[in-house]
Structure 1
């Protein structure tokens, strides 16, 4: 006769399971709380970077209003000179190319859109009655394109007396180039740095001791609220990324100027800050920012043509020779931001550009 064996649950098993459930619940809550904390910190940092940027922008606009009207001296003719303007298909770069073409310079429009660049070059040539306005393709987000541009320009056998590094991006969502760099940092700093380094020999041979070639970079007041770093500080913020790329550019420009001066090269480096100007660069901003700018545009004290006049003034002004880099804003040489005078920081920016562009071949960076 088969018997039935009753299973008797050991006393205390329920009490053993409940603490395990509580432990798992606690761990889950901690994970969620930490994730929420990280999201909050990320949002707060991004908001803080945005506030700093707009604070600097507001101060700049107020100063522009107090210093109106803006006036520049009559620029001398440039009939015997060649000027390269990067990012010259719209905004300040376009107006810079127009002014130099009106002065009789041979202008090379460098941009990353062939169709638009060809059209712009033809338009400027027609408007200014200057048939020496050319287009050359240049994509600063590609090291290969930068090297190709420098090689093609050198092969043309033309001198280069003026180069305005105007091309740039602003307020982009997080994105990386084919070379693996964050796009603001690549286009605004590393790509521009590589182009400058490759162009220095041609600029030097085109200049003279009494009239050096000029190399102008577009600075931004936002570099005053940034930290020198290749990667985002804490989290990605388009405002922080833009400001950080501009700080690196300013530091690199000052480091290059010291090296150029030590080598007695016939090249003079300058910085031009356009101030707050509503241009197509703002097209990547938030809907709210674009709405505000659309309403405020009639009230902004500077337009693209005035900002371009500042760039041309920086390029054509006679500056005392030396390792210093004048910082032109509204046609005046402004005092530099003290942090950018730190030579160790300057050399860090130089080394950063060298390492990122010539990881296995640094001989071309010896200066």
Structure 2
């Protein structure tokens, strides 16, 4: 029974990966439209020191944005900021430390950002990990669940009032959640979100990405009902050649290298869908979408379960110590 419980999510996840690779074999990465200038707008990008996060931060700064890179590697963050500021004459970047495996650190980050007195127009929840061995955070949460989803849930809610204040009709604030095709293989067990019964890194990763999509849809419903000029979308970058794959089994890593050279997207290509959601004129006022390769796409059937969305929201609020929406 244990073996079956671990094997099924593994097979589901790799089948998702094969489907994505087949798509990428026959379809080029979408071409980014001309984006409007973003002068005066402020963005936060989690995990913006490397990979897709760095490319996202760099592109937003090139449009004139003031970009806050949030990450836990101080030296890497300083190097990323230096590189972006050397390249971009209109926008600028700076680094603020946050450890997304710690809810306390998330709250400290939010306070540091608030102390700056800046508005907030774009929040890109990009940081993530994939297929790490079983591990708990200091708060007792399963690693994928906390870093990929729960900390971003808390971060978004703590910054939501600033996003509401900064948005206006015709110029909405935007939240972008980094999803993955693996969410199609995901299941959310509200009674065992930390995977204590049977641990599978594949199931844990898929669950964290499905949770982000469920969160996206529920939050947009609440924002729309409240009449707020804030949109939230989930984006799927496809399979991108980044350090996320460092935790694959040795054989899988060896097989990945030649395949990645041919079929994987580059970090810049993967970042394009986040930048599109964050800045494109076509996405003004558009929320509650799952975007893949620049197009609105149907996410998993389970992700549209409104009862599950509401239950996960309520459970997440309890876990991070927030009152309901």
Give your verdict on TM over 0.5.
Answer: yes
Pick the structure with greater CA Rg.
Answer: 1
Q: Is the 8 A contact 1:84 1:107 kept in 2?
A: yes
Distance 2:258 2:196 in 1: 32
2:324 equivalent in structure 1: 366
Moved more, 185-194 or 253-262: 253-262
The question of 1:178 aligning with 2:147 is answered: no
Q: Alpha-carbon deviations, 1:255-287, whole Å to 9, x = none? A: 111111122222100111011112111112211
Distance 1:157 1:61 in 2: 44
The question of 1:267 aligning with 2:227 is answered: no
Distance 1:129 1:262 in 2: 39
Match of 1:164 among 124, 131, 134: 124
1:306 equivalent in structure 2: 269
Match of 2:305 among 342, 346, 357: 342
Q: Is the 8 A contact 1:216 1:311 kept in 2?
A: yes
RMSD: 1.6
Match of 1:60 among 20, 24, 36: 20
Distance 1:260 1:138 in 2: 26
C-alpha displacement of 1:161: 0.8
- SS of the aligned residue for 2:177 comes to strand
Match of 1:107 among 58, 63, 67: 67
C-alpha displacement of 1:320: 6.7
2:201 equivalent in structure 1: 238
- SS of the aligned residue for 2:132 comes to coil
Match of 1:76 among 15, 29, 36: 36
Q: Does 1 or 2 have the higher relative contact order (CA < 8 Å, sep 6+)?
A: 2
Distance 1:116 1:301 in 2: 24
Q: Alpha-carbon deviations, 1:17-44, whole Å to 9, x = none? A: xxxxxxxxxxxxxxxxxxxxxxxx3233
Distance 1:95 1:321 in 2: 24
Q: Is the 8 A contact 2:223 2:230 kept in 1?
A: yes
Q: Alpha-carbon deviations, 1:154-204, whole Å to 9, x = none? A: 111111111110011111000000000000001111111000000100111
Structure-to-structure mapping, 1:181-196, within 5 angstroms: 181-196=141-156
Moved more, 211-220 or 77-86: 77-86
Q: Is the 8 A contact 2:229 2:285 kept in 1?
A: no
Structure-to-structure mapping, 1:1-367, within 5 angstroms: 41-68=1-28, 70-130=30-90, 132-229=92-189, 230-232=193-195, 235-317=198-280, 318-319=282-283, 321=285, 325-358=288-321, 362=322, 365-367=323-325
C-alpha displacement of 1:129: 3.4
Distance 2:50 2:147 in 1: 16
Q: Is the 8 A contact 1:68 1:301 kept in 2?
A: no
Distance 2:91 2:194 in 1: 44
Distance 2:285 2:315 in 1: 27
- SS of the aligned residue for 1:84 comes to strand
Q: Is the 8 A contact 1:278 1:293 kept in 2?
A: no
- SS of the aligned residue for 2:61 comes to helix
Structure 2: gaps spanning 5 or more residues: none
Distance 2:114 2:194 in 1: 34
Distance 1:348 1:315 in 2: 28
- SS of the aligned residue for 1:214 comes to strand
TM-score normalised according to structure 1 size: 0.84
TM-score normalised according to structure 2 size: 0.94
Distance 2:302 2:169 in 1: 30
Q: Is the 8 A contact 2:122 2:175 kept in 1?
A: yes
- C-alpha change, 1:190 and 1:171, in structure 2 (3 Å) is same
- C-alpha change, 1:312 and 1:111, in structure 2 (3 Å) is same
C-alpha displacement of 1:75: 1.5
